[in-house]
Structure 1
């Protein structure tokens, strides 16, 4: 791979758009972008990215392709579908998937791309849209050591913390566990905030006191204080529908390892109820309103 490879970026959504903008601003060589959303594509083009007319057009020109897509089905379609990366990319191309997928999906896609001489890295991201805008994401990477060394400098355009988690699929293993722990904690926090208020303790007082004790956490300081306490749930933030997708991946992973994930399954039931009650598109800490309303 040359010192400054030509980069492609596919998927300019809530996280992908700001990640791509960071790549365009920091990478010294051309960046080619593609998305079905013209508004999102125009934004990165105005920042300096070159517009691709199709996935095949992008794949034929790029040395490294970054993907930020909703899930495994979309990653598979972009990589292996008609007019996709496998058919249009050159041998030696590297695909870096920033999406969250099932571990088995990541490993299967990597194997199929390898047949075409294309290397695959799973590099799912964590933290918020604000972190994506600031370039301070946490990125968990599954790749062979030599391949990780090639892509790490590119990932640091978008992330302040880049962790090599082992071979192919290792990044997804760590990301799914990270997400499951967060979703479980937010559900537990929502329960206890409702309990505290009904028992006569103001939620603000609860969070202030707990933040000084052993119950303190990232979830409390970020989701509890910033969203659940003021009941402010910003648009274009991670919704309960996506929580169910990621929890499903985590539950499948646990079962494949011979572990019955009771905590994740309980949290899943809460978020499923939220989706069924019409909270699906809303920022996932809004689960507290469902619990408050239902008396659960």
Structure 2
């Protein structure tokens, strides 16, 4: 059996892909009942607890908001560490600090359980389409085993190095993204102040060296139409990941001045009441 803990914005479509492609019974646990009800139409059974997932699953996927939730599910009361069997697998799709991923890998390994950090990148639309990118941190021998389980919902599955490496590169990925989106928010503010056509301006930028994933997605699809839905990667989530990245940089002794500038914009957006909205909403506060 396959277990899935956390079926929120990204977890729900990922779980749906796992259920439709794995050929296995899938049980999911979440504090919210609505996504579990939707997943039931795809054959996913609702579990009563994390313990139920742990006791019956050979493979467990986690898609949780952050560090606190991952700790609680993995090592709290009724946790995976207490109830999973040796030789089982945990694929953690959440974004958490690299140090936590390494700590969990060590603690689970002591009980013969394989914990693999496998955070996902790209958008909610990519999760729906099954075209995510997964950054994996694990021993090379384990990677061949787990890669097919990640390909249920991803077109790019890359081993980044040993335990924690997947989380490190996911945080660096987000670090670059946040700064790119901040630069695009400033560019749009200047474009509008100069009375240039924003749509035409972005199209022109996409044909030059300013082109990027952020321009084609966050700028063209969110900032340009001024659409910042709440069931997306919010300002609050962005600030969480940004904090993890700054912590990683402190550990490495690197000063990230550009990321701190992006942090200022995100904090300004949160203070203006946009904390729950899709994070390119920072364009409203430039």
Q: Same fold (TM over 0.5)?
A: yes
User: What does 1:120-159 align with in structure 2 at a 5 Å threshold?
Assistant: 120-159=115-154
| 1:99 correspondence with 2:97 | no
Give 1:45 shift: 2.3
The answer for the alignment partner of 1:215 in structure 2 is 210
Alpha-carbon contact 1:79-1:113 (below 8 Å) kept: no
For the residue of structure 2 that corresponds to 1:165, the secondary structure is strand
| 1:199 correspondence with 2:209 | no
User: Which residue of the other structure, out of 74, 77, 84, is the alignment partner of 2:79?
Assistant: 84
- Structure 2 gaps of 5+ residues are none
1:176-215 Cα shifts (integer Å, max 9, x gaps): 1111111111011101111122123222222121111111
TM-score by length of 1: 0.94
The answer for the alignment partner of 1:51 in structure 2 is 46
Give 1:18 shift: 0.5
The answer for the alignment partner of 1:67 in structure 2 is 62
The answer for the alignment partner of 2:225 in structure 1 is 230
**For the residues of structure 1 that align with 2:129 and 2:27, how far apart are their CA atoms?**
21
**Following superposition, which runs of at least 4 residues in structure 1 exceed 4 angstroms of deviation?**
none
* Number of corresponding residues: 286
Give 1:244 shift: 0.4
The answer for the alignment partner of 2:164 in structure 1 is 169
| 1:119 correspondence with 2:114 | yes
**For the residues of structure 2 that align with 1:35 and 1:198, how far apart are their CA atoms?**
46
User: Which residue of the other structure, out of 163, 181, 188, is the alignment partner of 1:186?
Assistant: 181
TM-score by length of 2: 0.97
Give 1:171 shift: 0.5
Give 1:217 shift: 0.8
User: Which residue of the other structure, out of 263, 276, 281, is the alignment partner of 1:281?
Assistant: 276
The answer for the alignment partner of 1:294 in structure 2 is none
For the residue of structure 2 that corresponds to 1:17, the secondary structure is helix
